[in-house]
Structure formats: structure tokens, C-alpha cells
Structure 1
Amino acid sequence: MAKATYDEALRRLLVHEGGYSNHPSDPGGPTKYGITIFDYRKYIDARGSAADVRAMTVDQAKAIYRVRYWDAQRCDELPPGVDYAVFDYGVNSGIGRSGRVLRRLLGLSADGHAVTDAAIAAAAARDPAGLVQAICDERLRFLKALRTWPVFGAGWGRRVADVRRVGLRMAAGAPAPGRRRRGGAIAAGGAAAAGAAEAARQGGVPVEAILVAAGTVAAVALVAGAIWLIRRRRARRAVAGKAIAPEALAGQGG
């Protein structure tokens, strides 16, 4: 669903992160393309030096971003716009924080930061634009509370504003909450069940009761899909038997 946004998200991220820097007030130390020396030592070379960070290629940085930030936060499964907001937040402040913030905004336990099946289901049920706004609002509050805000605040503020603007544009093209392509109906039902189960565990509601409701949603989706297939097959048989005006097929779901 969200794969189409990755290239733009990465391109914009690299613009914000820029080239090599080693600002004395930056706790990340030597950094290039947003990859700190600590990330370099963790993912590329445990003995990496500042010179190695300076010599790092953009392809090395992209590989780290894809696996350690985008994939680690399951951004391909998040709604467009939300994926970008979570991705950029994770790079800037760590996936531990971005994951906990996302879970908290979705009403899930923030004890951990993992983007679970329940988080994916809950995000799919939310208005993506509203979720982008909430993520950016929380992110800006967090940054303003840091002691380094007076040094980096202007740039951080512009970055969050840009993520908000682009994220909202991406979200504007996303499907309405709860609506997906016909082929995704079964998967959506399964994700809803997972989200309901976690919500039940956290809220004290009997899991069985919530799962019954989720199962009903999945069943309705399956019936609707079956009806659509039957109508489509009937229309195709009719076309095979004789010529039918295009307007006669209107409303057949094709």
C-alpha cells in the first residue's frame, strides 16, 4: 500500500539530513546523510572512525534507512503520509520514540515501541491526515523541550513543518479509513481481529466478545466480495453470448 511513498520519503529525508557534519552540540557526533557514527559502527563497521563516516556513500546510507528504519517500523503497511511521518520521526529521534508515540496515539500500550499487527490495524482505521497532524504535533512538543532547541530549533521546526505538509498531501490520496481494494478484504478482517484482541487485553473487555465482532466485519467483507465476483462473471458470460452496450454493465462493480 505505502511502497509508492518510499522513494519520495527517502529523497526528502536526505535533503533534510544533508551531508557530513560534526557539530559540538550534536550528541550524535560525526554524522553524514543523517547516519551517526554510532549507527555506522552498529551497521557497517564496529571500528568506524569519523573519517569513515565522512567517506560513507549515499548507497550505504540508503541501505541502512531501508532496513533499519523503514522496514523496522513496517512503513510499507502504514497508510500513506503516516508512513512518512513515522519514518522521518524515527530517523530524527530514534525508532524507539517514534514507535511508542505511534502506539500511544493509536490508543495502544506504549510499554514497547514495536509496530505490531494491532498497530497496523488501528492505523488503518484512523483518518490518516489526523494521524499525521497528531504525530507532528507531538514531535514538535518533544523537540521544543530539548535543551538543544535554541541551537537546532529553527531547522527542526522547518523539518517538522515540511513533513506535516508533505504527509498531509500523501494522506489526501489514501483510501478512506476501513476501505481497501477488494483483494485486501480478507487481510483487513484479520488485522481488525488482531487489533481488537490487543485492545481487549488492554481495556479489560472480554477478548471473545471483541473477536466475534471482528469476525462479523470479516464475514461481511467476504460476502460483499463474493457478490461482486458473481455479478462480474455473469456480465462476462453475457458479453460472450452477445454484444452489450457499455452502459448496460454500469453498476456491475468492474
Structure 2
Amino acid sequence: MTVSREKEALARVLVHEGGYVNHPKDPGGPTNKGVTQRVYDGYRKSKGLSPRSVKDITPQEVEAIYDRQYWDAVKGDQLPAGVDYVLFDGAVNSGPGQSIKWLQRALGPLYKGGIDGVMGIGTIAAVNAVNNHDALIDRICDQRLNFLRHLKTWPTFGKGWSSRVAEVRSIGQAWATGETPQVASFVDGGQAKAFIEDAKTAPATAPADAATGAGVGGGTIAGTLQGLQDQLSPLSYASEWVGRIVVVLAVVSALLVVGGLGWRWYANRKAARLAEALSTAPA
């Protein structure tokens, strides 16, 4: 990896990030050139400098933060052309750990380790074993989009994120195939931070348990009433009345049990898909 490609990658990421924003629904809060106020405060503190608004961040500070906290975090200098940029852009938008997880999942069986978001020796070795970086970039971007769709902020920023990822995919694949990548363009909304803390929640299974329990309980009551009906059989009117209750209870109980089991299946399926999208499930 050459220093010039890091600078080219940074130039494109900065176009995607735009200038100062403070959207009320953006979990990043006040952000300038992709650097949040929190990250900027941490950087200034590490340099023994007093805090100040991220609005006043200098170009030199921007380059230093991107180099240390994003490019170096994904070990961009050790990654193939195109893959480095795709991981870099994802790290800026969702954090290095999340971006590395997308890579680890995209590597498939070539990667033998856990989905831990750490760019270790095993991850680097798996990347070096890939003979089609163009296709790898496709899979990384697919993982990223799946993650974004499972965030609560998707309805607000989904259009911008989709445009950004599409352009990142195109630029990365151009680099991977030796072509000249396009110039990046800014799309409003694409700069919003996409953190796992804003993920959707899985459906609760409590309603399923309640429905199933009620159904089983109703079935027990129906059985008891059935026994009572047998005892009242000489009294035709009372027996007929109890019989109708038994039928209603049996039907309702069956519906509750089926509904409860159905909801549990749905909730478990949604939870599994959410875990996979957020890279919290085993590969």
C-alpha cells in the first residue's frame, strides 16, 4: 500500500462526509468532515490541548485523526487496492470494528477465526488468500448494506447511505481491477453515522409464551368441563350448555397455542437475521 493511495482514499471519504452537521437523528452528534465532537475531544486531550468545537478542526488535525483512528485501525497499508478504501470508508461511517467484521464475514471459509472486528494475522492471511478482490468488495458492501438496513435510523438516512455504499463499491472495484476510480460525490444523509447502538431490537418472545400458556390452560379447563358435562348428562339442558363452553374453550385454546408457536418462530427468525446483519451471530 502506498501513501498516495491513502491520500486518494481520504480525499474521497471526505467528500462523502461533507462539512459540519448536527442532525438531531444522527447518533454522531456534532460532526465536521466526518469527525465527531467526541472523537475530536479525545484527540485534543491526547495532545494536551484544551477542548474546542469540532467546527474549528484544522485540515492537519483531520488528516491525523483519519490516519490513526481509521486507516491504521483497519491496517490499510496491508490490504489490497480497493479493499483498503472500502474498509476505510466503512470504518469512518460505522467504526473500525464493524467494518472489519463485514470483511471477516465476506471472507467466508477462507477466514477461520471469530467475527471479532480485529484485523489480526488470521484476517490479513485470509485476505491475501483471496484471488478476486473485485468479488470480495461486492460481498463487503453487501454486508454493510444489510447492517445499515437493520438500524432504526434507516428510514431517515437509508437513501443517503445506499448512494454512498454504491459509490464506495464502484470506486473500490475500480481500484481492485486497476482502473481509474471515479471522483466521489456528496449525498445528503450519507454522512450520518451508522452505529450498532442504533440497531433495531428483536421481537420479544414473551407474547408467544403468554399465548401458549393461556392455550394450554384453556385446554385444561376444557377438559375439566368435559368431565363435568359427563356428570351432568342426565340433565340435558345443563349438559348442552357446558358442551358449548367446552367447544369454545377448545377452539380458543388451540388458536392460542398455534398463534403462540407461530409468533415464537417469527421472533426467533427475526432475531437470527438481526444477529447476522449486526455481525453478532457466528459466521
Same fold (TM over 0.5): yes
Matched, 1:122 2:123: no
* 1:84–1:167 Cα contact (<8 Å) kept: yes
Matched, 1:18 2:22: no
**Residue 151 of structure 1, aligned match among 151, 156, 180:** 156
Q: Following superposition of structure 1 onto structure 2, how do residues 137-216 of structure 1 map, counting pairs within 5 Å?
A: 137-173=142-178
Displacement of 1:100: 1.9
Letter in 2 for 1:104: R
Runs of 5+ consecutive residues of structure 1 not aligned to the other structure: 175-254
In structure 1, the partner of 2:275 is none
In structure 2, the partner of 1:214 is none
Between the two proteins, the alignment pairs up a number of residues equal to: 173
The 3-state SS of whatever aligns with 1:115 is coil
Displacement of 1:48: 7.0
Q: Deviations over 1:97-128 (max 9, x none)?
A: 11222223223333422211221121112111
Q: Deviations over 1:18-66 (max 9, x none)?
A: 11111100111100000111111222238976x6111111221111001
Distance in 1, matches of 2:2 and 2:170, equals: 17
Letter in 1 for 2:154: W
In structure 1, the partner of 2:7 is 7
Q: Which moved more, 1:115-124 or 1:67-76?
A: 115-124
Distance in 2, matches of 1:132 and 1:165, equals: 9
Percent identity for Structure 1 against Structure 2: 46
Displacement of 1:88: 0.4
Letter in 1 for 2:148: L
Letter in 1 for 2:94: S
* 2:105–2:115 Cα contact (<8 Å) kept: no
Letter in 2 for 1:121: A
**Residue 139 of structure 2, aligned match among 130, 134, 140:** 134
Q: Deviations over 1:120-142 (max 9, x none)?
A: 12111211111110111110111
In structure 1, the partner of 2:58 is 57
The 3-state SS of whatever aligns with 2:81 is coil
Displacement of 1:2: 5.0
Displacement of 1:162: 0.6
In structure 2, the partner of 1:210 is none
Distance in 1, matches of 2:97 and 2:160, equals: 22
* 2:40–2:54 Cα contact (<8 Å) kept: yes
The RMSD of aligned alpha carbons is 1.9
Q: Which has the higher contact order (CA 8 A, sep 6+)?
A: 2
In structure 2, the partner of 1:109 is 113
Larger radius of gyration: 2
